[in-house]
Structure 1
Amino acid sequence: MNKPPIWYWIVSVLALFWNGAGVMAYLTRAFVTDEMIAQLPTDQQAEYLIEYPTWYTAAFALAVFCGFLGCIALLIRKKWAHVLFIISALGAITQHVYLFATVDMTGVTIIMPIMVIVVCIFLIWFAKLAIKKQWVN
């Protein structure tokens, strides 16, 4: 196994923070109470009152938790990070295709969903590169 360059560690830690934010977003949505929603500004309340299908919630959970575990796998230098990132990307793409089809997103609101998918694809490529360079085993 080869020693990874410093930028490998930087990318892996940044990706962990990115996916950690996704986990927090999921947990916030999953455990938000009616009292918490009532304290939000009116325009944000509507977002939490939308009823999403169960499969959408499952795709969201797979996307964030597999992405987070994939980052941990990169940090402990395990090649199964690649599989976790593929599962994460499939979850994120499923989730966002549903949003694109059912929610009117224009302008700035479409940027984050596209960024999520781009980061997922990047992490798949990054994990594959780490395997090829033998930075992970």
Structure 2
Amino acid sequence: MNALGSSTPVWFRLVGIVAVLWNLIGVWTYLGHVGAVPPMQPMTPEQQALSATVPAWVVGAFAIAVFSALLASVLMVMSRALARPLFLLSLVCVVAQMGWTLFVSNARAVEGNAAFVMPLVVTGIGALLYWASNVGVKRGWLR
């Protein structure tokens, strides 16, 4: 299952490529949140009001999470071990951001139980990417 002349399995590189695409969506979502690009989906007035209550530190955690994860994903594709600490940084920021969203904001009042879906998905994918980078370092795929 390895590419010719490579010690890194093809599936691991594919995970890295999918991670780059996933994190590009995250960057676009962040840029839409701060008004740099059009949002991926139009927001209801209630969602706009909720978005206006997000503290600067949560927006900062969002930025660090998506940009460090994108860089980590690119480094994973390039077989660089620096991906692991960047995925960890991203995961810590995701947990902080999603913790605020789930437990402090009124997201559930605005979106109902659906408010739990994306935070859990994003956190789960972040944890899986960090785990994959650990595996990559331990097996020598990330150097």
C-alpha deviations, 1:94-123, integer Å up to 9, x for none? 001101122242433311100111111111
- Residue 115 of structure 2: aligned partner: 109
**What letter matches 2:124 in structure 1?**
V
Higher relative contact order (CA 8 A, sep 6+): 1
Measure, in 2, the Cα distance between the counterparts of 1:16 and 1:90.
Answer: 19
Amino acid at match of 2:12: Y
Which of 16, 23, 27 is matched with 2:20 structurally?
A: 16
2:79 touches 2:142 (CA, 8 Å); kept in 1? yes
Q: 1:83 aligns with which of 79, 82, 85?
A: 85
Shift of 1:3: 1.3
**SS of equivalent to 2:44:** helix
Asked if 1:93 is matched to 2:95, the reply is: yes
When normalised by structure 2's length, the TM-score is 0.83
1: CA distance between counterparts of 2:106 and 2:68?
A: 25
Aligned to 2:69: 67
SS of match in other structure, 1:7: helix
| Conserved 8 A contact 1:26-1:64 | yes
Aligned residues of 1:19 and 1:67 also touching (Cα < 8 A): yes
DSSP 3-state at the match of 2:141? coil
Distance 1:121 1:32 in 2: 28
Structure with more helix by fraction: 1
Mark the runs of 5 or more structure 2 residues left unpaired by the alignment.
1-5
TM-score (norm 1): 0.86
User: Is the Cα–Cα contact under 8 Å of residues 29 and 48 in structure 1 kept in the other structure?
Assistant: no
Look up the SS of the partner of 1:134 in the other structure: coil
CA offsets, 1:42-101, max 9 Å, x none? x52432342311101110001100110000110111101000001000110000110112
CA RMSD of aligned residues (A): 1.9
Identity within the alignment, %: 24
Give the count of matched residue pairs.
130
Q: Which amino acid aligns with 1:99?
A: T
**Structure 1, unpaired ranges of 5+:** none
